[in-house]
Amino acid sequence: MKRLLKWLPAVVAPVVVAGAVAAPAFASGLSEARTSTPSAAQVLALMAKAKDAHYSGSITQSSDLGLPELPSGAMGSAGSGSSNAQASSILELLTASHKAQVYVDGQSKQRIQVLDSLAERDVVRNGTDLWTWDSKTNKALHVKLPSKTASQDGASATPTATPQSLADKLVQNASKTSTLTVSKGSVASHDVWQLTITPKTTGTLVGKAVLSVDTKTGVPLAAEIDARGQKTSAVSVAFTRVDFGTPAASNFTFTPPKGAKVTQKSLPSHGSHATHPDNRVPGSFERPNIIGSGWTSIVAVPAGSLGAGMSSLTAGQSHLLNELTQSVDGGRGLQTSLFSVLITSDGRVYAGAVPLSALESAAK
């Protein structure tokens, strides 16, 4: 459970931010001069132009997941250990609104500055150097990323189809579970194509997802996920200002402030991992299972993969867990407006964009 609380920000944050700053690897298949409404496949093809784009701007992120607002001192009685701080950070991530500055110069230089009240959190990538920093704790992490290997490059070099046909195939597969529509809108004073993806099944908590793509550059300028039956967006990320000029190189250099505690780590290159006889990397957890498919799929994490279970929680973590979850047969469960999580007493974890009752059935 401690490892679950530790890694949730790393899982949730990229999912929220990626919708606004990332794009699929499809080449352009849509003319910039097009004035009529394109197809969903053409919008996806247009987005490929953004993979090497350079831009900067301000974004806002908001969430309305129906989670209770805990008092700011809810964790205080349990001490100020790092695990408790991580748990509080997760709660803030899932309930509070945030503003950030974004700088992107191609695929190897990015920076995100999350600007909180009297605090700042940074993620900076410059080539193979990746830095994270939190001004509240004055702690920095420096990760040395591996360079691309020949095997990785070769995997994408084999021609199998044209970029536009790949986009067509993606939309064809998505159409089996979703309805896709395209309309025109505006974000941060820029014209966008709004790609709306609506699940066909009623078994998911997701009402629809909307991706707004700049009509000229293909850069996604907004992402929104709506919960079924909820008037306000469950998760929303959008640029309030964007500049498509190349950001200054100084934005991608980072020097830890004086007195900062710096942790150094290196990621091994592809194929250099030492493995156990069962082919697992030392210290890694067992691979999760996927139950079902599409919008109603459930991720099932085996017992022991995320720690020793609820019995190992600190007092502060137990208090937070009890505040956020409800007691269910065999464990604790949480259902937000957009997703549900079930933690069984024996350490198994189930999660998905489905009602909690679906997770309980899967756990039996």
Query: What pLDDT score does 315 carry?
Result: 58
Query: What pLDDT score does 131 carry?
Result: 96
Verify that 100 and 140 share a domain, yes or no. yes
Highest mean pLDDT among 14-23, 34-43, 295-304: 295-304
Verify that 38 and 75 share a domain, yes or no. yes
Structural domains of the chain, count: 2
User: CB within 8 A of 159, min separation 6: which ones?
Assistant: none
Could you say which DSSP state residue 157 is in? T
The boundaries of the domain holding residue 293 are 289-363
Verify that 124 and 170 share a domain, yes or no. yes
pLDDT tops 80 at residue 234: yes
Query: What pLDDT score does 278 carry?
Result: 47
Instruction: Name the domain boundary from 265, 280, 302.
Output: 265
Verify that 244 and 309 share a domain, yes or no. no
Verify that 203 and 303 share a domain, yes or no. no
Residue 90 placed within a domain: yes
Query: What pLDDT score does 247 carry?
Result: 97
Residue 342 placed within a domain: yes
Residue 62 placed within a domain: yes
**Two structure tokens written together for 233:** 């967006």
Top-confidence residue, 60 or 96: 60
Start-to-end CA distance of the chain, whole Å, equals: 20
One-letter amino acid of 261: K
Residue 8, SS3 per DSSP: helix
Give every strand in the sheet of 235-243, ordered side by side. 178-187, 190-199, 206-214, 220-227, 235-243, 54-63, 98-105, 109-116, 119-126, 129-134, 139-144, 261-266
Verify that 214 and 323 share a domain, yes or no. no
Q: Which residue has the tokens 């004086």?
A: 258
Q: What is the mean pLDDT of residues 141-145?
A: 94
Q: What is the mean pLDDT of residues 111-127?
A: 90
Query: What pLDDT score does 118 carry?
Result: 77
Verify that 203 and 324 share a domain, yes or no. no
List, in sequence order, the alpha helices (H) in 136-228: 150-155, 163-174
Residue 313 placed within a domain: yes
Verify that 181 and 313 share a domain, yes or no. no
Query: What pLDDT score does 356 carry?
Result: 95
CATH number for 84: 2.50.20.10
pLDDT tops 70 at residue 97: yes
Top-confidence residue, 267 or 5: 267
Verify that 261 and 294 share a domain, yes or no. no
pLDDT tops 60 at residue 114: yes
Q: What is the mean pLDDT of residues 162-184?
A: 84
Instruction: Name the domain boundary from 200, 232, 265.
Output: 265
Verify that 201 and 330 share a domain, yes or no. no
pLDDT tops 60 at residue 193: yes
pLDDT tops 50 at residue 241: yes
Residue 36 placed within a domain: yes
CA 36, CA 246: separation in Å to the nearest integer? 30
Residue 282 placed within a domain: no
Instruction: Name the domain boundary from 250, 265, 280.
Output: 265
Q: What is the mean pLDDT of residues 177-193?
A: 96
Residue 9 placed within a domain: yes
List the single range of 66-75, 138-147, 176-185 with lowest mean pLDDT: 66-75
Verify that 112 and 160 share a domain, yes or no. yes
